[in-house]
Amino acid sequence: MARRESCVAPGWWDYTTLDEKLLADAAALTAEQVLQLSRPGFRVVAYDTLEDFYLAEALEYIDAWRQSTLDNPVGLCGPIGPTEQLPLVARIVNDLELDIRSAHFWGMDEWFLDGREAPESHPLSFARADRELCFDRIDKKLRMSDAQIHFPKADAREYSASWDGVRCAVMQGGQGEVKHWAFNDPPRREGKWVDSPPPPSEYRKLGTRVVDLHPMTLIQNARTSGGGNVAGVPTQAITVGPVETWKADRVSIWHAGTHDNPFGQRLTTLMISERIADSAVPMSLLAEHPNVQFNFYRHGIGTCQAEMH
**What per-residue confidence (pLDDT) applies to 88?**
98
Mean pLDDT, rounded, for 141-166: 96
pLDDT tens-place string over residues 199-256 = 999 999 999 999 999 999 998 877 777 787 888 788 999 999 999 999 999 999 999 9
DSSP 207-231: -SEEEEPPHHHHHHHHHHHSTT-GG
Q: What's the rounded Cα separation, in Å, for the pair 242 and 28? A: 30
Q: How far apart are CA 309 and CA 306, in angstroms?
A: 10
DSSP H/E element including 109: strand 109-113
Q: Where are the alpha helices (DSSP H) in 28-184?
A: 31-34, 50-66, 85-96, 126-133, 157-161
8 Å CB contact between 72 and 104: no
Other CB atoms within a 10 A radius of the CB of residue 308 amount to 3
Which of the four pLDDT bands, split at 50, 70 and 90, describes residue 179?
A: very high
> Which CATH number is associated with domain 44-299?
3.40.50.1360
If DSSP codes are grouped into helix, strand and coil, which group holds residue 43?
strand
Q: pLDDT tens digit string along 4-38?
A: 999 999 999 999 999 999 999 999 999 999 999 99
0.85 exceeded by the pTM? yes
pLDDT exceeds cutoff 90 at 47:
yes
Contact 43, 293 (CB under 8 A): yes
Domain ranges of the chain: 44-299
E strands in 33-103: 42-47, 74-78
What is the DSSP secondary-structure string of 64-78?
HHHT--SSS-EEEEE
- The DSSP symbol for 282 reads G
Mean per-residue pLDDT over the chain, rounded = 95
Nearest C-alpha neighbor of 176 from the set 188, 168, 184: 184
Instruction: Using DSSP, state whether 26 is helix, strand or coil.
Output: helix
- Average pLDDT of the residues in 154-166: 96
| 120-133: average pLDDT | 94
Share of the chain above pLDDT 90, in %: 88
**Residue 161 confidence (pLDDT):** 97
Helix 85-96 vs helix 126-133: angle between axes, to the nearest 10 degrees?
40
pLDDT recorded at residue 223: 79
**CB-CB contact of 93 with 138 (8 Å):** yes
CB–CB of 181/286 below 8 Å? yes
Please tell me the predicted confidence (pLDDT) of residue 309: 67
Answer yes or no: is pLDDT of 62 > 70.
Answer: yes
Per-residue pLDDT, 87: 98
Q: Is the pLDDT score of 116 beyond 90?
A: yes
Residue 263 has pLDDT above 70, yes or no: yes
pLDDT at 307: 72
